Homo-oligomer: A and B are copies of this chain.
Amino acid sequence: MEKPYVAGIDIGGQTSKIGIVDARGSVLAQTTIRTDSHKDVNLYIEDLYNALIKVSSKIGGIEKIRGIGVGAPNGNYYTGVIDNAVNLAWGGSNAIPFAKLLKEKSGIPVTLTNDANAAAVGEMTYGAAKGMKNFIMITLGTGVGSGIVINGEVVYGHDGFAGELGHTTAVRRNGRNCNCGKTGCLETYASAIGVARTAREWLEMSEEPSLLRNYDNITSKDVYQAATQGDKLAIKVFNYTGKILGECFADFVAFSAPEAIILFGGLARSGDLLLKPIVENMNANMLFMWKNKVKVLFSKLKESDAAILGASALGWSD
């Protein structure tokens, strides 16, 4: 039987997105299920499988699906295991053989990777990195993730866990505590949560007037709104965030000399507010041969599609 389609599954902390994709990268059908409604992975997989069957009815049945690609936090490409994914209700501290479980349930080959790597594959196949062989994808969401592509291939490293740039050290002395147990991680400054944290710290530290003083529980979106209204403190928060990102990007460039660094995720919608200080500080901290040569771009994929497309691209590989 002909199997012309692949499924892409993006597992997030709250919801999981499921899409059916054809060889040209069109999302033919999609649906979502709750990720956080089960503590047990087997029950979650039951839900996922039922949703997959249902959404497949629009393309002639699940028999038309040749492979499933899954992007998940802490997903390991080599082993198919989701390891210690504390943000997933059923992730806990256990190593879950997710690819194996889903393959047994569905009878379809399953390839797993982490969500940022999946986004990088999506960007390379369909987005801003089309035609690029060397780039770094940085996802600026609740956390900071990364997918690194060298010579046209995602870098998985010796153990499958390569590309954790959100947990490189941005601030070496007296850095912020990170959920990972370390201090000073890039993620604690440059994620949506990090931006809100910077704003709150600065509001406490100074008496400077700011629109943000009107908010109760400041989010990165509030900081963005205030900055677009000319609020000086909010603008300084973005300059600081961009400075930290730019300094770290300079070091990433020294590692793999990418053609571009591509920004993805909620915070990447801040546009020039974030881009300008990033580019300025990155160039100030790079060796001469890279100055003004390495592009910083925004993702060209719709956020809702990118993860599905990226994950689905893995579905062709088996």
Q: Which residues of A contact B (CB under 8 A)?
A: 83-84, 133-134, 148, 150-151, 153, 155-165, 167-169, 171-173, 180-182, 247, 250-252, 254-259, 285, 287-290, 293
Residues of B within 8 A of A293 (CB): 159
Q: How many whole Å from A37's CB to the nearest CB in chain B?
A: 27
Pick 18 A–B contacts, CB within 8 A, sort by A: A84-B288, A134-B157, A134-B158, A156-B257, A157-B258, A158-B257, A158-B259, A159-B257, A159-B289, A159-B290, A161-B287, A161-B289, A163-B255, A163-B257, A168-B254, A168-B255, A169-B250, A252-B255
CA distance A251 to B168 in the complex (A): 5
Q: Are B165 and A254 in contact (CB under 8 A)?
A: yes
Output the residue of A158, A160, A172 with the most chain B CB within 10 A.
A158
Q: How many whole Å from A153's CB to the nearest CB in chain B?
A: 7
The contact of A157 among B153, B156, B256, B287, by CB within 8 Å, is: B256
Residues of B within 8 A of A167 (CB): 254, 287
Residues of B within 8 A of A163 (CB): 254-255, 257
Residues of B within 8 A of A160 (CB): 257
Q: Which are the 4 A-B pairs with shortest beta-carbon distances?
A: A157-B257, A162-B257, A158-B259, A168-B251
The contact of A162 among B158, B159, B182, B256, by CB within 8 Å, is: B256
